[in-house]
């Protein structure tokens, strides 16, 4: 299967309230030889104030964000989707993509009325080179050189990691340059740690992960938290009763006797305990780092437990189906307190559209703006209906009825002009505060750039303030 390596540059860190401004991808064959590449930039959407810090990091200029020669966000997302579909099926992979770029891509599709789950449908599967390198560091520590970051701790940030391993990464935070650096690190892992690469490549297929978890008596589970690798020797102990991608495992450093008779409600308390974690969770669709028990790294606590006792603990759990069932119920109970967000952007996982709405949004993508305005009035999913109106507002506001146009004018003004600094998006006020905080200690070059960003933000504020006068 081919690979699609990709990266995004964005206006900030919050996938629900920021946006992609550059998307770059390279398709390779199974040996990581390049076959084709794709690169696109787009304009910033009218309701988004870019983070000044993000603009400093990426080097994006205010002028490029409003360049009329660039496609709109909607047009860019349509082109990205078309390109990815033309390259499918493939393993779609980035660097820290499962936590960052993937969410931006999904949000971009969601807010553009495009099918949200492209990366794990149409025969595609997902992977993440950063997680593969975590595994390489644990199990083949001499293969990858992990440098110290500015805080004096080991860092896997690509702009530091790639140069530490011999790559000239002068254009870090430019999407195509980051894709090339990601492929370089992937090639290093494939060539120098092929066993780890192949194991993690199989982990991209969630059904294989589940079969391994259930089929093994015990296995080593690894994760990186707060710049430190952690390893556990665990055994399967339950599946979320409503989300089959979420699995529970029991840390064999603990004696299960203390937990086997607990009710589902009591097990929720165990799951929520931050100081002690006898039961851990993992998601089989997010590339868990799983290896055979015999490979458990030195220092894994359960290795201090005599093998006979570990086997006894495994058997006590395996032979107690009611315990596994209650654990699955506990996982569902813990997630049942979810409250619907007041913001449409945060409702991406609040359910799938109906078949009739799916047909309408499919038609929306292929239609002209006049017909899209008609389609928008027939969509029944409140989230998608509002996003449809926003898209029309951004592209052809003349097609909206006066009351809807007035409503969206007020919405965009409230987004940008709010005085509340606790809102989850970057408002103008928050941007000005960020510029002020950074300005005093900034270099001469960054002071000049911050001044440009401040002028750009001021212009956007003036324009939005006068919306109702047009």
Q: Which of 441, 328, 353, 465 has the alpha carbon at shortest distance from 56?
A: 441
CA atoms in the 13 A half-sphere facing the CB of 59: 6
Any idea where the domains of the chain sit in the sequence? 3-197, 205-335, 344-469
Report the sign of the C-alpha dihedral through residues 446, 449, 454, 460, in that order.
Answer: negative
Contacts of 333 (CB under 8 A, 6+ apart): 264, 265, 268
Q: What is the pLDDT of residue 468?
A: 67
Residue 469, pLDDT score: 55
Tokens, residue 254: 């603990």
CA 301, distance to chain mean position in Å, is 31
Entry pTM: 0.94
What's the CATH number for 205-335?
Answer: 3.30.1520.20
pLDDT-flagged residues of the chain (< 50) = 470
| Letter string b/e over residues 81-99, b meaning 16 or more CB atoms within 10 A of that residue's CB | bebbeebbebbbbbbbbbe
Tell me the CATH class for 3-197: alpha beta
The CA R_g of the chain, rounded to the nearest whole Å, is 24
Model confidence pLDDT, tens digit, residues 139-159: 999 999 999 988 888 999 999
Q: What digits encode the pLDDT tens for the residues 322-346?
A: 999 999 999 999 988 778 899 999 9
**Helix, strand, coil % (nearest 5) of the chain?**
50, 15, 35
List Cα–Cα distances, 157 to 173, 181, 306, 369, in angstroms: 11, 11, 38, 42
């Amino acid at each position: 299967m081919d690979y699609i390596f990709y990266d995004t540059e964005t206006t900030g860190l919050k996938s629900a309230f920021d946006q992609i401004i550059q998307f770059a991808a390279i398709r390779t064959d199974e040996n990581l030889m390049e076959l084709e590449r794709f690169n696109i930039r787009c304009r910033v959407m009218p309701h988004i104030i870019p983070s000044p810090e993000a603009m400093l990091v990426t080097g994006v200029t205010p002028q490029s964000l409003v360049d009329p020669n660039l496609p709109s966000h909607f047009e860019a997302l349509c082109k990205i989707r078309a390109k990815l579909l033309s390259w499918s099926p493939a393993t779609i992979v980035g660097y820290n993509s499962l936590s960052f770029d993937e969410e931006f891509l999904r949000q971009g599709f969601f807010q553009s009325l495009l099918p949200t789950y492209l990366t794990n449908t149409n025969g595609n599967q997902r992977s993440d080179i950063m997680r593969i390198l975590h595994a390489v560091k644990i199990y083949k520590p001499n293969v990858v050189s992990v440098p110290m970051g500015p805080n004096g701790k080991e860092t896997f940030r690509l702009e530091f990691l790639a140069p530490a391993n011999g790559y000239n990464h002068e254009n870090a935070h430019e999407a195509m340059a980051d894709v090339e650096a990601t492929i370089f690190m992937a090639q290093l892992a494939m060539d120098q740690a092929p066993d780890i690469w192949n194991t993690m490549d199989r982990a991209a297929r969630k059904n294989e992960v589940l079969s391994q978890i259930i089929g093994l008596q015990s296995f080593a589970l690894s994760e990186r938290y707060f710049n430190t690798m952690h390893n556990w020797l665990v055994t399967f102990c339950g599946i979320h009763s409503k989300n089959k991608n979420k699995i529970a495992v029991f840390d064999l450093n603990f004696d299960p006797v203390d937990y086997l008779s607990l009710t589902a409600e009591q097990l929720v308390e165990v799951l929520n305990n931050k100081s002690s974690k006898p039961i851990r969770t993992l998601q089989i669709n997010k590339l868990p780092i799983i290896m055979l028990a015999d490979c458990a790294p030195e220092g894994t606590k359960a290795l201090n437990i005599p093998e006979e006792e570990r086997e006894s603990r495994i058997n006590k759990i395996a032979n107690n189906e009611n315990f596994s069932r209650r654990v699955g119920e506990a996982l569902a109970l813990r997630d049942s307190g979810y409250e619907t967000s007041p913001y449409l952007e945060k409702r991406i996982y609040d359910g799938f559209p109906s078949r009739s709405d799916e047909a309408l949004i499919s038609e929306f993508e292929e239609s002209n703006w006049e017909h899209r305005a008609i389609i928008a009035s027939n969509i029944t999913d409140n989230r998608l209906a509002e996003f449809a109106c926003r898209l029309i507002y951004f592209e052809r506001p003349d097609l909206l009825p006066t009351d809807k146009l007035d409503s969206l004018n007020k919405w965009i003004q409230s987004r940008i002009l709010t005085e509340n600094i606790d809102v989850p998006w970057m408002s103008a006020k928050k941007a000005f505060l960020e510029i002020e905080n950074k300005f005093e200690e900034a270099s001469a070059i960054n002071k000049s750039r911050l001044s440009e960003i401040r002028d750009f933000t001021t212009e956007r504020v003036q324009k939005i303030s006068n919306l109702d006068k047009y």
